[in-house]
Chain A
């Protein structure tokens, strides 16, 4: 298992340890939506990377989708009140 992980490319003379990769993988896991999968610390690096790729693609699609929807509503939009709502949320 550790040999599979060490196939991740190493840069130049700096040897990236499996431990470092593990740490970074778990940091990555913590920003993925299904992070708190109870007690399952043994998710493979490959699986995390795969989920990461799907997650980023999903977010890119959401940006595209929201851009289109905002575009449709922009003509009649009262941005001043949107701005006010946002400022209020900052003060809460």
Chain B
């Protein structure tokens, strides 16, 4: 996992917070995996992938903390034990010639906390959410690689 460092200093570097967050993300996720490994039996294997998935979103949200609307929304959902669901199907707005408005609405459903964001905030939050999601996916791939070799 690379951590980009800016030659112009850290202030405007969007990845500034990501390196420390990566560490938090990894330690949180690995601890959760340990716990899941120890507390799951062969009869609960169906729920195990759900628990792992939940742990993935939890470690993303905890490492981003409360400074982002998307992470606050995720933390709220996790704490209320609500089901973590994101729309899967391609919306009908996937056809061309659709206006920006529809795509922004589609995006709102994909980013946690989206519905209460105005468009400016939505775009900022989305970029941050994608960064953290990508990092989490890479982390999971790294763990996969190291336990399957």
Known: A21-B123, A53-B107, A90-B23. A31 touches B144 (CB 8 A): no
In the complex, which of the residues B101, B110, B123, B131 has the most CB atoms of chain A within 10 Å of its own CB atom? B123
Q: Which residues of B contact A85 (CB under 8 A)?
A: 142, 146
Interface of A is mostly: helix
CB distance from B143 to the nearest CB of A (A): 5
The residue that A55 contacts in the complex, of B98, B100, B130, with Cβ under 8 A, is B130
**Contact at B30–A86, with CB atoms within 8 Å?**
yes
CB distance from A64 to the nearest CB of B (A): 6
Q: Which residues of B contact A4 (CB under 8 A)?
A: 99-100
Q: Mark A55-71, 1 if CB is under 8 A from B, else 0.
A: 11101111110111111
Which residue numbers of B lie inside 8 Å of A, CB to CB? 1, 14, 23, 26, 30, 33-34, 36-37, 40, 42, 45, 48-50, 52-53, 56-57, 86, 88, 90-91, 94, 98-101, 103-104, 106-107, 110-111, 118-120, 123-124, 126-127, 129-131, 133-134, 136-137, 140-144, 146-148
Which residue numbers of A lie inside 8 Å of B, CB to CB? 4-5, 7-11, 14, 16, 20-21, 24-25, 27-28, 30-32, 45-46, 49-50, 52-53, 55-57, 59-64, 66-71, 73-75, 77-79, 81-83, 85-86, 89-90
**Contact at B56–A63, with CB atoms within 8 Å?**
yes
Report 24 cross-chain contacts, Cβ distance below 8 Å, ordered by A residue: A8-B101, A10-B118, A16-B119, A21-B119, A25-B123, A28-B126, A49-B100, A49-B106, A59-B130, A59-B133, A62-B137, A63-B136, A67-B50, A67-B56, A70-B52, A70-B144, A71-B49, A73-B148, A74-B40, A74-B48, A79-B30, A82-B143, A89-B1, A89-B142
